[in-house]
Structure 1
């Protein structure tokens, strides 16, 4: 979307993808860059079997996830001391500023819809390499 364009309703058909700072590949979706959103982004993510993200947090932005298929293990907390398994049909909320690391430990892909209160999607991502070795 060009600067100065008036926002309007838009249908987005995920086609292209991009590599996120977190180490996973995302399908293009709703963001400031695609539709001119000012307070939200939404994307599709498929985590291949055995893949995991880098430990990270999103400064000042909340995240809501709906798992479409498969399951994701997620470690979270200041030292990734908490663990949850989010399965198909379940939703998962991550408050702003909470370190987390998702992984797919299964033999099947995990697909999810991810919405965040960050219209630039990757802008608020802060990598936490010091935590990468703490999760299984």
Structure 2
């Protein structure tokens, strides 16, 4: 396989991981992780999964926006199993995966992210944090 394609970016800066996560292709993400691990080990997996697209997002951010809860849970589990430190990567605007999970109502995912990583990033946009997201969500119900 042409291994350099595993982290090649399209015009939007998306890697194959971003594209697979955005479309809910859990098994594809698993296969891509396996290919990267075979090619370069765990550090290479972390480097590829940590790549930001032009919106400053990782594949984890994309996964959190999926429509179906079962798919979100499966995708986040696969990504976090491959690199627990993904929860530390905020968007360019400061939106962390935890903030996004709380804002979108994925409470069980927020709990998993919190349990996975002691260095978890809590930040959100405009100086907010995950607690702000919880308040915003509760007032919009």
The TM-score, its normalising length taken from structure 2, stands at 0.28
Task: Name the structure where helix makes up a greater proportion of residues.
Answer: 2
Q: Which has the higher strand share?
A: 1
Between 1 and 2, higher relative CO (CA 8 Å, sep ≥ 6) is seen in 1
TM-score between both structures, scaled by the size of structure 1:
0.29
